[in-house]
Structure 1
Amino acid sequence: MTNPVALVTGASSGIGEATARKLHSLGYTVYGAARRTERLETLAADGVRPLGMDVTDEASMQAGVARITAETGRIDVLVNNAGYGSYGALEDVPLDEGRRQFEVNVFGAVRLIQLVLPTMRAQGSGRIVNISSMGGRLHTPLGGWYHGTKFALEAISDCLRIEVAPFGIDVVVIEPGGIETEWGGIAAERVEATSGTGAYAAQAKAVAGALRSDANANRNSPPSVIADAIAKAVTARRPRTRYAVGAGAKPLIAARRVLPDRTYDALIGRAVGLPRP
């Protein structure tokens, strides 16, 4: 029996890199995909196959999936990890940036799903793992576009799970909490650039400060905790539909589920340090 084959997007750093390494250690033939292949050199040296792929480019995605099937004849696991967080007040964020957020975080993931499903159906098996966020179950100020993409990915995953179950394919959502990656710093820079002046400046300062303080205080979890959860999801005989893992994920999701909207709004505002109305 040949080794199972996995495609991991956003593999150049953080969760994607940790996941590629974890699956490789479990005996998977792993293709680590990223836009900049030079950032995949260390993974390649350790046995992960580098794959240049831009999840906003149709030709790039088609070529990547075609290469995998040509070289291995199968695809057993797709980990849709590529994504980024673009923060800023909805009034301030240009619609083109909102569209790009959906192109990367949602449409790129869905297009790859469309491309791998024929192979998985023919095999009668497969695992699709979509990396959402605890932000796919709750909301924070100035994160409207980002949360919108993650809420969308959660709903799409639920519908897809029902559709592909008859073909032996499982769909799993991973909901990371605070993780030690570049994500928080990038989101902080974006919120300052977008809403750091003007009517929302005080909120932008508070949100950027909160994003940076979690990282500086070492309150976030290492990417390996997400890689371990993904490994469980792809190797379990019957995986859970959702895995909430990492700093704060389970308690914050639970709080959002039980608290009334305005109570949650007040709680998250105080946690972030927003100026009171």
Structure 2
Amino acid sequence: MVAPVAIVTGGSSGIGELTARQLHAKGYQVYAVARRTDRLAGLAESGVHVHAVDLTEDASMRELVDRVHAEQGRIDLLVNNAGFGAFGAVETVPLADARAQFEVNVFGLARMAQLVLPHMREVGRGRIINVSSIAGYVAEPYGGWYHASKHAVEGLSDCLRLELRPFGIDVVLVEPGPVRTEWNAIAAKSLADASRGTPYEKQARATRRALKSMNSSLLSVPASRVSDVIVEAALDDDPRARYPVGRRAAAIIMLAKYLPTRAVDALTGLLYHSR
């Protein structure tokens, strides 16, 4: 049998690296991509194909997809895992920084889908797994642009799923809650930098503490739990549209959907000590 072929973005560490390793162990020909290949050396040694890709540059993404198809003759799975969280008050974050976040989290994700879809549609099958977040349902202070990007991923994926169903192509959302990765410290630092010297500096400290505590929180899960679910979604014969991941993630999503907004705001205020 011909090995299925997968592309995993954001493959240099954490969830992406683990997903690439697990898919490779399941028999996939895996292409793990990131902006810098030096952080992909370990994957290359284990037999995973690695490639430098900038998700803000169309030529870089196009070259990747052309290479994969030329080498393998097929693309069965795209895992859109790359993304980052730049935090700060909506008022004070420069729009250039907000656009940069959308370029990776939304437009890079969408462009990768556009590029692989002709190959999937040609053979009448394929799967796209978009790594979203419970941030696509809830809100927290000073996370406006990150949350907006994940809300966009949710809506985009739902529309894409409906459009691609007639072609035999599945679109799946994986929605982690808090995860123990380097992402938390990076987001906390970006919040500190964006808030320094602004009217929000003092209030933002509670959100910084919450972000930094995620790596030790009982509510958070290791990155391996998320990669396990991504691989489960890749292998399911009849995948669900959504896979919440983590302790109480599904419950948090349900509360956000069905509780009155004022009640959700009050609970969030208690969590972040804000009013």
**Within 5 A, what are the aligned runs for 1:103-122?**
103-122=103-122
Structure 1 residues 218 and 47, CA, compared in 2 at 3 Å: closer, same or farther? farther
Counterpart AA for 1:166: P
Residue identity (%):
52
Residue 226 of structure 2 is matched in structure 1 by 226
**2:154: which partner in 1?**
154
The aligned counterpart of 2:252 is 252
2:203 is paired with a residue whose SS is helix
> TM-score, normalization: structure 2?
0.97
Match in the other structure for 1:241: 241
Shift of 1:261: 0.7
* Aligned twin of 2:48: 48
Write the distance in 2 (CA, Å) between the matches of 1:217 and 1:166.
42
1:25: which partner in 2? 25
SS of equivalent residue, structure 1 residue 107:
helix
Cα distance in 1 between the residues matched to 2:212 and 2:27: 37
Q: Identify the residue that residue 91 of structure 2 maps to in structure 1.
A: 91
- Range 244-253 or range 154-163, more displaced: 244-253
Partner of 1:268: 268
Residue of structure 1 equivalent to 2:13: 13
- Distance in 2 between residues matched to 1:76 and 1:84, nearest whole Å: 25
**Which residue in the other structure is 2:82 paired with?**
82
- The answer as to whether partners of 1:210 and 1:272 remain within 8 angstroms in 2 is yes
Task: Give the Å deviation of 1:228.
Answer: 1.1
Per the TM alignment, residue 202 of structure 1 is displaced from its structure 2 partner at its CA by: 2.2
Shift in Å at residue 258 of structure 1? Answer: 2.1
C-alpha contact (below 8 Å) 2:92/2:198 kept by paired residues: no
1:34, 1:53 within 8 Å by CA — same for their partners in 2?
A: yes
State the one-letter code of the partner of 1:21: R
The residue type equivalent to 2:173 in the other structure is V
Name the TM-score, length of structure 1 as normaliser. Answer: 0.97
State the Cα distance separating 1:197 from its structure 2 match: 3.0
Aligned-pair CA distance for 1:218: 5.9
| SS of residue paired to 2:12 | coil
Superposition deviation, residue 203 in structure 1: 2.2
Q: Do the aligned partners of 1:19 and 1:230 also contact (CA within 8 Å) in 2?
A: yes
Distance 2:5 2:104 in 1: 23
Contact 1:35 1:53 in 2 (8 A): yes
> Is the 1:77–1:128 Cα contact (8 Å) retained in structure 2?
yes
Structure 1 gap segments, 5+ residues each: none
Shift of 1:219: 4.5
The offset of 1:211, in angstroms, is 0.6
1:202 alignment partner, SS class:
coil
Deviations 1:246-273 (A, max 9, x none): 2442221122122111111110111122
DSSP-derived class of the 2:221 partner: coil
The yes-or-no answer on 1:198 pairing with 2:198 is yes
Once the 2 structures are TM-superposed, how far is the Cα of residue 170 of structure 1 from its aligned partner? 0.2
Is the Cα contact below 8 Å between 1:179 and 1:247 reproduced in 2? Answer: no
3-state secondary structure, aligned to 1:189: helix
User: Which shifted more, 223-232 or 82-91?
Assistant: 223-232
**Secondary structure of the residue that 2:27 maps to in structure 1?**
coil
Aligned residues: 275
- 1:169 maps to 169
> 2:32 touches 2:50 (CA, 8 Å); kept in 1?
yes
- Partner amino acid for 2:225? V
